[in-house]
Amino acid sequence: MTTGKSGGKAGGKASAGARDMRVKVKKAGKLKHSSQLWLERQLNDPYVKRAKEQGYRSRAAFKLVEMDDRYKFLKPAQRLVDLGCAPGGWCQVAAKRIGLEQGKGRIVGIDLLPVDPIPGVDLIQLDFMAEEAPALLTERLGGRADGVMSDMAANTTGHKKTDHLKIIALAEAALEFAHDVLAPGGFFLAKLFQGGDSAELLAGLKRDFTTVRNVKPAASRADSSELYVLATGYRRAAREAEGRDAEQMGDA
């Protein structure tokens, strides 16, 4: 690994000098070019540096920080579910914002991968689409959730249409899970890709939540097509309850 030196004669353009200051990785052994580029990007990413400095497990933590700073959906004493929570950056942010260290609220994180312990967070190694998952998480929360968060993304294939379809399917599965666990007024936050066929998903969100927003936080890389859908004011459960009450009154 080498740090490029400023090239050219004295008095050269500042932008050239700035470019040369980027950390570069020498290709060694069987390191693929794509892997080399990824490593260079990580080494030069200011959010990666900030994550290390502030003790966050991933740069993705700042995506949640920025979205919540703007829309204030994380509140003290909430009950939250983090789907696909590994390595735990979103759980760390949410724990601070709901006051978990002061004994306020509860967070359950679920992932197929093992996650190192996070103070106060209940971590489960399980597929969130498993039949028993909604009931288990509701039990561990001690009631229905105030929010369901998902930063999950399926492994990409490089084929844009296929990758869009895969992440939409994952978001739809996360939404179905949210229907099983969300309390009235709760929120749903999930990752999508720009340009994907998300019309049906968004129509369902607009029907079941009072407000639906597409958000691209600054921490999301500029060359990435990812964005997030934030739906607040969950009302499907309340509407279904009203429908059951109306049926019961009709039968009386």
The pLDDT-based confidence of 49 (bands split at 50, 70, 90) is confident
The strand pairing partners of 24, in sequence order, are 2
The pLDDT-based confidence of 166 (bands split at 50, 70, 90) is confident
What is the full DSSP assignment across the chain?
Answer: -EEPPP-SSTT--HHHHHHHTSEE----TT--HHHHHHHHHHHH-HHHHHHHHHT-SSTTHHHHHHHHHHH----TT-EEEEET-TT-HHHHHHHHHHTGGGT--EEEEEESS-----TT-EEEES-TTSTTHHHHHHHHHTS-EEEEEE---PPP-S-HHHHHHHHHHHHHHHHHHHHHHEEEEEEEEEEEETTS--HHHHHHHHHHEEEEEEE--TTS-TT--EEEEEEEEE-HHHHHHHHHHHHHHHH-
Question: Per CATH, which fold does 58-240 belong to?
Answer: Rossmann fold (3.40.50)
pLDDT for 247 equals 54
The strand pairing partners of 107, in sequence order, are 80
Domain boundaries, the chain: 2-44, 58-240
The pLDDT of residue 251 is above 80: no
- The chain-wide mean pLDDT, for the chain, equals 82
The pLDDT of residue 230 is above 70: yes
> What's the whole-model pTM score?
0.77
102, 120, 123 from 117: Cα distances, Å: 18, 9, 7
The pLDDT-based confidence of 164 (bands split at 50, 70, 90) is confident
Which amino acid is it at 6?
S
pLDDT for 238 equals 61
The pLDDT of residue 196 is above 70: no
6-15 confidence digits (pLDDT tens): 333 334 444 4
69 is in an annotated binding site: no
82 is in an annotated binding site: no
90 is in an annotated binding site: yes
72-120 confidence digits (pLDDT tens): 999 999 999 999 999 999 999 999 999 999 999 999 999 999 999 999 9
Q: How far apart are CA 188 and CA 231, in angstroms?
A: 5
Please list, residue by residue across 106-121, b when 16 or more beta carbons sit within 10 angstroms of its beta carbon and e when fewer do: bbbbbbeeebeebebb
What are the residue numbers of the active site? 191
122 is in an annotated binding site: no
